[in-house]
Amino acid sequence: MVFASMTSLLGMIPLLAIGMNYYRYQYADPENKVLEPQYVKRHYDFVVVGGGSAGAVIANRLSEVRNWSVLLLEAGGDETEISDVPALAGYIQLTDLDWKYQTIPAPGKYCQAMKGDRCNWPRGKVLGGSSVLNAMVYVRGSKNDFNHWAALGNPGWDYPSMLKYFLKSEDVRNPYLAATNYHETGGYLTVQESPWRTPLSIAFLQAGMEMGYENRDINGAKQTGFMLTQSTIRRGSRCSTGKAFIRPVRLRKNLDVLLHAEVTRVLIDPKTKRAMGVEYTRHGRPQVVYARNEIVLSAGALNSPKLLMLSGIGLADHLAEHNIPVVSDLPVGNNMQDHVGLGGLTFVIDAPLTVTRSRFQTIPVAMEYILRERGPMSFSGVEGVAFLNTKYQDPAEDWPDIQFHFLPSSISSDAGEQIRKILNLRDGFYNTVYKPLQQSETWSILPLLLRPKSTGFVRLNSRNPTQPPKIIPNYFAHQIDIDVLVEGIKLAINVSNSQAFQRFGSRLHNIPLPGCRHHTFQSDEYWACCIKQFTFTIYHPSGTCRMGPASDPLAVVDPRLRVYGVTGLRVADASIMPTIVNGNPNAGVIAIGEKASDLIKEDWGMRRAPSPAAAG
């Protein structure tokens, strides 16, 4: 999820727009209020923990069975009038809607330009989860990702099987996409191209063609290529999973949604090893609720492993360190993967076409959004995405190893007001490299490594559930990750050097990063140094409760997402990914929620399971 990328508009929107959107959010949309139950029952058939990109889907789909009672527990509150506006996404970070996690310092290895050598890892603490904080980029990943999952011993997770779940959720609003076999209309999740963009977006597509790449629907038959961003937006506003999947069904009698309910532990019978219920705190009071059938953890790739470990499911040695009795000895928290790249790769142009503070801090801009649901305020920040092959990747495989996020703005576009804060940049670093650009016309590319060889891990800080998890991303443990990224940076510079951008006088910002001045500017050694300085993650942690067959030593859940060694407990979120998907994972996590719902229905006799041939 590209949280910082859209913040070039931060500080540019008048308070009038926020106030008017508050009116629209509260009163104009009859489906906006999530009604909490007057009282919580002692027992439910299913308890879903986490109302994010997967949990909201699961709560919706399970409550389709009218004689099942479903409780959704979400640690945060509901969305706000600010989170609904795409251009204001950066304001949400470091607020109560964000868990505000940070990585553990690894001096000299990564995040060196950040205060305390810590990269911020925003995570959504709100109904809708990180789909409320992200840049709304809709990318499904490569078909090779899912076929690889199946090849690892996970039947039913191949691309043809997963495509039907992408289609099931989707309500695409662009007719040319709806006419293809790779998109669908009528689902809960609205997907469309942004109604507003700068002229540079077309230059980005033209540059891709000059470099030999096709302009294509990267969610279609092939992934390699350039495209205008498809986004989870609806009528100019964010379409989170809370808005898409919970608000329309909020009046179902068999679905209770409890906000500000932070789960602290899964209750497991030590003799039968069956998950019976969960403990949670709400308004400072500890409470317990029980599940007759199952508990589904959809708390995300950081909090799901944390909850498992607090409940006695994890590496025995680590649990012993915190005096937690072992229920099931599993590699919980291992296998953590993330998309990482170089931040701040900035280019300067001569034409007044970029997103700047002065250009969009106007009443007309605000009124265009309020009255027509269009204009710069409907802009998520990422105008285009591309998937490219470095020299390390066979182009015939259609499994690109680098992704670009194209932004008609840069870190300096908000005059240092918010972006530097949410990126945790050191003041001296920002003032030296980016402050000189505050009056310039700038655009940027975020080159990302798609399939890292390096993996990290999540651990407990203590057995106190209020403590954040210990996050060790372990970036760049393998040299090949740096080598691929360096080639990706060179490809990004080629975009600027294209005729499409040269007509605007595009050139690379040439102030070297302070910690890399001892290298020749633009040399491979310089870029390798920059990656460790301005390490940029778009916050896609995954894989920490890996799905796999019993023979997989890294597996935590089986191919039906059931936790090994325990009954009545599943995990369904980004943590179950055996390997990270090729692109922004929000769409994939929603599909995991759809798939998990069908698995649960099959196992409880509510729908027929596919034949082995169809599943394979």
Beta strands 120-121; 261-268: pairing state: unpaired
In DSSP terms, 337 is beta-bridged to 542
> Three-state DSSP class for 308?
helix
Tell me: is residue 136 an annotated ligand-binding position: yes
What are the DSSP calls for 217-272, one per residue? -TTSS---EEEEPEE-EETTEE--HIIIIIGGGTT-TTEEEE-SEEEEEEEE-TTT
Beta-carbon contacts of residue 386 (< 8 Å; ≥ 6 apart): 204, 208, 213, 225, 226, 227, 403, 404, 406
Tell me: is residue 21 an annotated ligand-binding position: no
Which amino acid, 176? Y
Tell me: is residue 134 an annotated ligand-binding position: yes
Contact 576, 146 (CB under 8 A): no
Tokens linked to 426: 């050191």
- Nearest alpha-carbon partner for 405 in 136, 187, 162: 136
Cα dist from 270 to 45, 266, 289, 308, whole Å? 21, 12, 18, 14
Contact 127, 56 (CB under 8 A): yes
Contact 146, 165 (CB under 8 A): no
Contact 17, 417 (CB under 8 A): no
Tell me: is residue 219 an annotated ligand-binding position: no
Beta-carbon contacts of residue 197 (< 8 Å; ≥ 6 apart): 228, 379, 383, 408
Residue corresponding to tokens 């995954």: 542
Tell me: is residue 385 an annotated ligand-binding position: no
Contact 377, 366 (CB under 8 A): yes
Q: How many residues does the chain have?
A: 616
CA distance 37 to 46: 16
Active site residue 148: no
CB-based burial, 86-105: b 16+ in 10 Å, e otherwise: bbbbbbbbeeebbbebbbbb
Tell me: is residue 135 an annotated ligand-binding position: yes
Alpha helices (H) along 43-142 = 55-62
Residue corresponding to tokens 């403590």: 467
- Nearest alpha-carbon partner for 214 in 387, 1, 376, 447: 387
What are the DSSP calls for 314-325, one per residue? E-HHHHHHTT--
Identified catalytic residue from 183, 318, 509, 540: 540
Task: Please state the residue numbers annotated as binding site.
Answer: 126, 134-137, 263
Task: Please state the residue numbers annotated as binding site for FAD.
Answer: 126, 134-137, 263
Active site residues: 540
